[in-house]
Amino acid sequence: MVNRREFIQKVAIVTGATGIATFEDLQSAFAHASSKGLSVELPPDDAETFNVVCQFCHVQCGYKVKVWERGKGKRPKGIYTTPLSGEWVAPTFIAPAEKDGKKVFIAVIPDKDCVVNYGNYSVRGGTQALTIFTKDFKTFEKRLKYPMIRKNKNEPLKRVSWKEAIEFTAENLMKLKEEFGPDALGLVWGDWLYTLPTHAILKFWFVGLGSSSHMGNGWYWDEESAGISVAFGTGTRSITIEDFEQTRLLFCAGKNLMDTGSVWYYRFLLNNPNAREIYVDPRRTQQAKIAEARGGLHLQIRPGTDPILAGALIRIIIERDAWDKEFVEKYVSGFDVVKEVVRHDKFSLENASAITGIPKDKILKAADLLIENKGHTLILSEKGIMHQMAAFEAQHGYAVLGIILGNVGKPGANVSRGAGHPRGTFWWPPEPPSREKNKHLPTALKEGRIKAIWAFGSNVFVQIPNQRELRPLIAKTFLIVQDRIHTEMDSVANVIFPAASWGETELILASEDRRIRLIQKFMDPPGEALPDWYIVAQVAKAMGLKGFDWNHPKDIWDEIRQNNDWIAEITWEMLVEAGTNGVRYPMKNGKSPERLFSDEWEAIMGKRFLTEDGKVHVEAFEKVLKFDPMMYEWSGVNKDYPLMAIDFRLNELWNTGYTYWFTPTLYERTPDAFCMIHPEDAEPRGIKDGDWVILRSRYGQCRAKARVTTDIIKGCVAVPALFPKKGQRNAYILPDTPSPINGDVVTMVAVEVIKIKSEGVKKSKKEI
């Protein structure tokens, strides 16, 4: 494995910058600790040791947590190792805290023995220690510590006992259910809260309450992976982390792997030096620059036109008679449909170039690379295409591209989602009541059918789009907030449940390469905060519901695995024993395949693909023929809203920013949202780099600082998703219309960008 010093040197040569914690970041954290009068110590040999995995992205790097009494640690003598070697305990890895009445240090150290990261870490993971509850940092005031209720909206919140908060919640839910029916109760849940809480809340909602009103953090109904699962019979991530070191060609569409799956990308970049990359993105990111520097391509696509690009590439491959004939003949159903569809003029090279904005020679070069690396290409797609109106067409188009080239079930070759936040995989989701007429929670809100909302690990004032219209409606409901920190939701919440966070309770995570890991508890939660699953169980029992008598997290895990053949053999004890490496699923007779759809998979599971006939189905590719960008977002572009806005994930910001304020090395890197705008779009609007601007759509507006750059395609602007500062949230400019098939939130919208004349200008009444 290449160490971090070599990595930073290589990346800096290519891009001039890095997406990881730099030495300057670490110095900042050290200065912050020193200003508190804290002297850095190293963990002693007898420190308490716990196994955890990173609380942020899908990679889920392994970490060791060390806890020891202050003053009893080792003192560094001189320079004991280089700060970028991957061996030292950096200042960002350590935080002061209290445990069992004693002042302690807690170190969260990348585990060099974890097969996922081998001691490497991202800028997020490397600052996890700064997110733990500690009275030594001012940010501890933001943590929720006690249950609170508000009986009337015009009254202030008041602190109450858990008993009173639970009974108040149960009584109101029961009353609303009896008066308006179970679907009057709405749930907005984040599955980044991990497996046990996710199972608890969904069992409570679907079985206990019988409600079908719910939505996830980024979707309205439950098939984000529809474009992939329609082909393979499952949307489960099919890759293993070693594929990044074995592939010859990495194809990423709508997935900035460097920023949102950093350690996966580090392994590709550093341990697979001869592999090349095709990177599809409207922005010219660091990953785009690295792809080109390594002999690959950046296809700077017009957002929302991915189905055309996929169809054009497939057409070239078919015209050259270059598809994997053996694989297609043996395993693929519907290939004739694909061949017929791509004969249409819309997939000609000339038309594809005109629609996507990608030069013809680059499309041809991409086809060359794909054909050259047939059977050795890893194709990943994620939120950048999933959050389009044509999410299904784009996802399925890229899946078919990989399928016809035989990039399925082989080392370094597969088709998969690129993944996002940690997976709170609901292995045994109780079936929700019929959602045929109740898939879209915002519609139910607008029609007055939702009387209560439980915000379960999701900030509904950041996450839900169309905030200008929906926020006042949410405020009128009986609002239950179950979270870790104080947010604007406090201002209208009827109930606030303080939840224990990462490290304060035992949790289970499932990584995107299907490793199940146990996160051990290493400290107590602040105040009276309790585990998420326990809070849910108490409300359920207060309502007289059966089946919620869990006494330990293990009880929930046993209930889940006993109802799912893929994990039935994986016991709690196995997870404890496995440490940071975890246990891979699915498991059958003690064996787990490395990757899906492989020879090994078929030998263990008895079936190559999970469709009814065991074949890959691509008949749904006919939907791509009907695709027209002007049917969707681009039809909204006009003289009033002439630019297309897209969003992206910041490397240092995760989910709805619930840890953003705890880590100065993160929020100091990006203190404000910014708007990437092309110079030719900025100049006629009088916008200069650093100016404050307003992005205005039909739905609302938000603010950002202009970043004038050719790193965004002309005619488009880009802003960070889910930025946690007031007035800078792109949820105010987004529609609540879902993608028709996948059911995802759509984050593309027509806007105008207006320069704010004075930085001190008063906020518009439309702006929150």
- The string of DSSP codes covering 71-114 is T-SBPP-S--S-TTSS-S--GGGEEEEEETTEEEEEEEEE-TT-
Averaged over 624-629, what is the pLDDT?
A: 94
314 or 428, which is more confident?
Answer: 314
**pLDDT band at residue 19 under the 50/70/90 scheme:** very low
Instruction: Tell which phi-psi region holds residue 194, choosing left (phi > 0), alpha (psi between -120 and 50) or beta.
Output: left
**What tokens were used for 615?**
């074949």
For residue 16, is pLDDT > 50? no
d(CA 674, CA 693): 9
d(CA 306, CA 393): 8
For residue 283, is pLDDT > 80? yes
pTM score, whole prediction? 0.93
For residue 9, is pLDDT > 70? no
* pLDDT (0 to 100) of residue 163: 98
768 or 332, which is more confident?
Answer: 332
* pLDDT (0 to 100) of residue 658: 67
Averaged over 610-627, what is the pLDDT?
A: 96
Q: Please, what is the average pLDDT of the chain?
A: 90
d(CA 232, CA 259): 28
Averaged over 338-363, what is the pLDDT?
A: 98
Q: Return the DSSP state at 616.
A: E
Percent of the chain with pLDDT over 90: 77
For residue 576, is pLDDT > 70? yes
* pLDDT (0 to 100) of residue 421: 66
**pLDDT band at residue 220 under the 50/70/90 scheme:** confident
Can you name the residues that pair with 597 across neighbouring β-strands?
A: none
For residue 274, is pLDDT > 70? yes
* pLDDT (0 to 100) of residue 427: 67
**pLDDT band at residue 746 under the 50/70/90 scheme:** very high
* pLDDT (0 to 100) of residue 124: 86
**pLDDT band at residue 91 under the 50/70/90 scheme:** confident
Using CA atoms, how far residue 290 sits from 273, 274, 295, 383, in Å, is 12, 13, 9, 21
Using CA atoms, how far residue 553 sits from 166, 427, 548, 572, in Å, is 20, 15, 12, 9
* pLDDT (0 to 100) of residue 566: 93
**pLDDT band at residue 219 under the 50/70/90 scheme:** confident
Averaged over 244-253, what is the pLDDT?
A: 98
**pLDDT band at residue 493 under the 50/70/90 scheme:** very high
Averaged over 679-686, what is the pLDDT?
A: 98
Q: Measuring CA to CA, which residue among 253, 329, 208, 265 is closest to residue 20?
A: 265
**pLDDT band at residue 86 under the 50/70/90 scheme:** very low
pLDDT in tens, 411-445: 999 999 997 666 666 666 667 788 888 999 999 99
d(CA 600, CA 596): 8
For residue 26, is pLDDT > 60? no
Among the ranges 92-106, 169-183, 210-224, which has the highest mean pLDDT value? 169-183
For residue 109, is pLDDT > 50? yes
83 or 613, which is more confident?
Answer: 613
* pLDDT (0 to 100) of residue 224: 84
Phi and psi at 42, nearest 5°, equal -100, 150
CB 567 within 8 A of CB 585: yes
* pLDDT (0 to 100) of residue 77: 65
Measured over the CA atoms of residue 756, residue 762, residue 767 and residue 768, the dihedral's sign is: positive
Q: Return the DSSP state at 701.
A: E
Phi and psi at 753, nearest 5°, equal -115, 125
* pLDDT (0 to 100) of residue 668: 77
Convert 692-712 to b/e letters by CB count within 10 Å (16 or more is b): bbbbbbebbbbbbbbbbbebb
361 or 7, which is more confident?
Answer: 361
